[in-house]
């Protein structure tokens, strides 16, 4: 198992799904974790009780609001004086078609880009400024298979945001490698989470044809990938995107 003992990791969107499982895996690998639990701050109590306040620190904040990402990163730094690894996992995927009224369509596009892209860019900026003073660090951005293959017509805004996350990650890797910064993207396809449960259930036959392995990926696959990248074991992989989709989209 990769050991992350001594590392401090900040994970956004950690209240459930991929984020919650990732926080648990990071803790099991020895890291101390700052977990962002969304605007309401729900979840995380079990991890706090299990690992204690010296290993887990909980934050809340609405990433749909500009400036929140910076505030959260600075609060994460304040906990122990530094952050070694940033994991931008928080994201939204509201259904939206071109038939929606323009005002609603524009509002949901703006919200999706704010949470999925602009808050990620803002977090990266805060991390880069911090890493410049601490000799480097690691950034891991959770993107999506949709960044490369596109998505359904009711999720174009989601696909667009995740495509931009991939190019943002590559730009960070190219621009800041000399300063000791490593940046990676992780691009899952369908993952078995609470958020995807209803869709996976209602589209079983369609997904059985789409997924060569016959099922969506467990969130542990994503979490284990994040632990691996957070270890810093493969610095020359910086800028890469790691696919987790069971060969449903192979590049």
| Residue whose tokens read 């891991």 | 140
Neighbouring residues of 53: CB distance < 8 A, sequence distance ≥ 6? none
Whether 138 is in a domain gets the answer yes
Active site residue 249: no
Whether 33 is in a domain gets the answer yes
What is 140-156 written as a DSSP string?
Answer: EEE--THHHH---GGGH
The enclosing domain of 87 has a CATH number of 3.40.50.720
Tell me how many helices (H) and strands (E) the chain has: 10, 7
Whether 251 is in a domain gets the answer no
Residue 135 has a pLDDT of 97
Residue 120, number of CB atoms within 10 A of its CB: 29
Whether 49 is in a domain gets the answer yes
Residue 59 has a pLDDT of 96
Whether 215 is in a domain gets the answer yes
For 155, the domain range is 8-244
Whether 2 is in a domain gets the answer no
Q: Is the pLDDT of residue 224 over 90?
A: yes
Whether 136 is in a domain gets the answer yes
Q: Which residue in the list 131, 158, 176, 184 is annotated as catalytic? A: 158
Residue 3, number of CB atoms within 10 A of its CB: 11
Whether 1 is in a domain gets the answer no
Angle at 176 between CA 66 and CA 159, to 5 degrees: 50
Greater model confidence, 225 or 1: 225
Tens-place pLDDT, residues 149-175: 999 999 999 999 999 999 999 999 999
Residue ranges of E strands in the chain: 8-11, 32-36, 56-59, 85-88, 137-142, 181-188, 241-244
Segment among 88-102, 105-119, 188-202 with least mean pLDDT: 188-202
Distance CA 212, CA 60 (A): 38
Tally the domains of the chain. Answer: 1
Q: Is the pLDDT of residue 1 over 80?
A: no
């Amino acid at each position: 198992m990769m050991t992350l003992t001594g590392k401090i990791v900040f994970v956004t969107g950690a209240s459930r799904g991929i984020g919650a499982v990732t926080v648990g895996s990071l803790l099991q690998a020895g890291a101390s974790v700052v977990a962002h639990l969304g605007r309401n701050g729900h979840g995380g109590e079990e991890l706090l009780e299990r690992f204690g306040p010296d290993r887990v620190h909980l934050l809340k904040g609405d990433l749909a609001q500009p400036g929140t990402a910076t505030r959260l990163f600075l609060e994460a730094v304040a906990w122990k004086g530094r952050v070694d690894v940033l994991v931008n996992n928080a994201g939204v995927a509201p259904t939206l078609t071109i038939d929606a009224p323009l005002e609603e369509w524009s509002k949901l596009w703006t919200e999706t880009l704010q949470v999925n892209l602009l808050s990620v860019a803002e977090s990266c900026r805060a991390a880069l400024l911090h890493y410049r003073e601490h000799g480097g660090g690691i950034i891991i951005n959770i993107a999506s298979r949709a960044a490369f293959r596109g998505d359904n017509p009711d999720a174009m805004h989601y696909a667009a945001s995740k495509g931009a996350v991939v190019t943002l990650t590559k730009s960070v890797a190219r621009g800041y490698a000399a300063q000791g910064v490593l940046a990676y993207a992780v691009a899952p396809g369908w993952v078995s989470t609470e958020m995807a449960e209803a869709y996976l259930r209602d589209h079983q036959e369609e997904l059985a044809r789409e997924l060569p392995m016959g099922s969506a990926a467990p969130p542990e696959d994503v979490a284990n990938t994040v632990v691996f990248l957070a270890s810093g074991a493969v610095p020359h992989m910086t800028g890469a995107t790691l696919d987790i989709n069971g060969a449903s989209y192979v590049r």
